Chains A and B, each alone.
Chain A
């Protein structure tokens, strides 16, 4: 697949997929566009880093960290709860495909392949959590030095 097509798919897919997800959990309407935008940028960063050869877990961590910081900043600016944007930032990298591949392999009796795919999915989830956590931590350090505004 050409690189340009991959980028277009990453940006549009993450945007519309995340907006759909945000609608499903009834996030405020005024947050939809920004949620999609943050998801697009986070996923694009993740894609770019893997394309440049960075290991997948590291790219996921950096993508989630960026999403977390961008989400918390947007939450402050728009006076919307931070959860709305944090959730949106990480949804595109949640390993849905990994989950299916694991189950398909286990269902076919390929235990080693299933276990390997499962562990990869778990590492992805751990990296997402780590990225979110690191972002929230950095945000608190940054904002503890500035006038406090609740998210």
Chain B
């Protein structure tokens, strides 16, 4: 029970839950991880409650007094490598191979982990994603390349906006706008381009696939608050992208060269 009296236990539990939730993990996973790690540390009556915007953790200390903490959580990014690594730490902690301090040190490293790659490597990833889906939708070679370039430019815009902590809604609207407008403008210069398929491919990196999956996972575990919250987030993101696309179509009516 040496670990149980260590203040770093609460820090480790908080940090584990925070990393999972800030990087696109499910709330049920955050709760399960905290409970499993807490029991692994030798804490008694460990309990946790997570909602998409916060974490509540409690356990009983050596004197039998309850220790409780609240942590505000803000969704910042999508980094499933960090979530996966916290999962690995929780496995080790649960099996008694890591104590509180070791787990906390590992979690602090994970918090700064850049993910599966760092820097501007997201640009070729966006290119690959859009080009792959354009191929799937039946586009020709030129349109596949165009879809990749459009997605790359939109990703560049997102990366630029992220530097000013301006992601989320604004990025979705702008993403939808650019994803539609660039192919429409390109098709004025190169009429052979398959505009519809380019847009369909280029929009794929923006779709809220992770939020949708998380919503289903949370709902299936009976966590309705988180399920609905993630579901609304997915629908809202899709609506904003669609709104941006509609705006682009409307703007194109005012640009010489005819309607869409």
What is the interface of chain A, defined by CB distance below 8 A to chain B? Answer: 1, 9-10, 12-21, 23-29, 32, 43, 79-84, 86-87, 90-92, 94, 96-97, 99-104, 106-108, 125, 128-129, 132-133, 136-137, 150
For residue B121, give the distance in angstroms from its CB to the closest CB of chain A: 8
User: CA–CA, A105 to B203, complex, Å?
Assistant: 17
Residues from chain B with a CB closer than 8 A to the CB of A23 are 116-117, 121-122, 125, 128-129
- Given the known inter-chain contacts A24-B129, A99-B241, please indicate yes or no for A136 contacting B196, CB distance below 8 A: no
Q: Which of B39-47, B62-70, B73-81, B103-111 contacts its partner?
A: B73-81
Determine if B128 and A19 form an interchain contact, defined as CB atoms under 8 angstroms apart: yes
Q: Which 6 A-B pairs have the closest CB atoms?
A: A13-B136, A20-B129, A17-B132, A107-B249, A26-B115, A16-B132
Which of chain B's residues have a CB closer than 8 A to the CB of A80? 84
B79 surroundings in chain A (CB, below 8 A): 25-26
Known A17-B204, A28-B80, A96-B207; judge A136-B130 contact (CB<8 A): no
CA distance A110 to B80 in the complex (A): 41
| B196 with A100: CB separation less than 8 A | yes
**In the assembled complex, which residues on chain A have CB atoms less than 8 Å from the CB atom of B217?**
82-83, 86, 132, 136
Checking B84, B121, B260 against A28 with a beta-carbon cut-off of 8 angstroms, the contacting residue is: B84
Q: How far is the CA of A60 from the CA of B51 in the complex (A)?
A: 31
In the complex, A29→B241 CA distance in Å? 28
Please tell me if the beta carbons of B133 and A92 are within 8 angstroms of each other in the complex.
Answer: yes
Cross-chain contact A107 with B246 (CB below 8 angstroms): yes
User: In terms of DSSP, what is the predominant structure of the interface of chain B?
Assistant: helix
A sample of 21 inter-chain contacts (CB < 8 A) reads A9-B135, A15-B132, A17-B133, A17-B135, A20-B205, A21-B129, A21-B204, A24-B122, A25-B24, A25-B209, A26-B116, A27-B80, A28-B116, A81-B25, A90-B213, A91-B207, A94-B207, A100-B203, A106-B249, A133-B216, A150-B91
Q: Which residues of B contact A (CB under 8 A)?
A: 24-26, 29, 32, 78-84, 87-88, 91, 115-117, 121-122, 125-138, 155, 180, 196-197, 199-201, 203-205, 207, 209-210, 212-217, 219-220, 238, 241-242, 245-246, 249-250, 253, 259-260
Please give me the residue from chain B that is nearest to A47 by CB atom.
B136
The answer to whether A83 touches B212, judged by C-beta atoms less than 8 angstroms apart, is no
Specify which of A83, A92, A136 is in contact with B136 (CB 8 Å cutoff): A92
- For A12, A99, A132, the residue with the greatest tally of chain B CB atoms inside 10 Å of its CB is A99
* Number of CB contacts from chain A to chain B under 8 A: 190
Which of chain B's residues have a CB closer than 8 A to the CB of A15?
132
Give the residue among A83, A90, A108, A132 with the most B Cβ atoms within 10 A.
A83
Distance (whole angstroms) from the CB of A98 to the closest CB of chain B = 9
CB distance from A144 to the nearest CB of B (A): 14
Please name the residue on chain B nearest to A87 by beta carbon: B213
Point out the residues of chain A lying under 8 angstroms from B241, CB to CB.
99
Assembly CA distance A17 to B201 (angstroms): 9
CB-based nearest B residue for A19: B128
Residues from chain B with a CB closer than 8 A to the CB of A26 are 78-82, 115-117
Name A97's closest neighbour in chain B (CB-CB).
B200
Would you give the shortest CB distance from A31 to chain B, in whole angstroms? 8
Chain B residues lying within 8 Å of A17, measured Cβ to Cβ, are: 128-133, 135-136, 201, 204
A96 with B204, Cβ < 8 A, contacts A20-B126, A20-B130, A23-B125 known = yes
Report Cα–Cα, A97/B201, bound state, in Å.
8
Is there an interface contact between B135 and A13, defined as CB atoms closer than 8 Å?
A: yes
B249: chain A residues within 8 A (beta carbon): 103-104, 106-108
Whether B80 pairs with A99 at a CB distance below 8 angstroms is: no
Whole-angstrom CA separation of A15 from B136 in the bound complex: 9
B258 to chain A, nearest CB (A): 12
List of B residues within 8 angstroms of A21 by Cβ: 129, 204-205, 209
With A26-B117, A106-B249, A132-B213 already in contact, 19 other A-B pairs whose C-beta atoms are closer than 8 Å = A12-B132, A12-B135, A14-B136, A17-B201, A18-B132, A24-B126, A28-B116, A32-B116, A83-B80, A83-B210, A83-B213, A90-B209, A97-B196, A100-B200, A104-B196, A104-B245, A106-B246, A132-B217, A133-B219
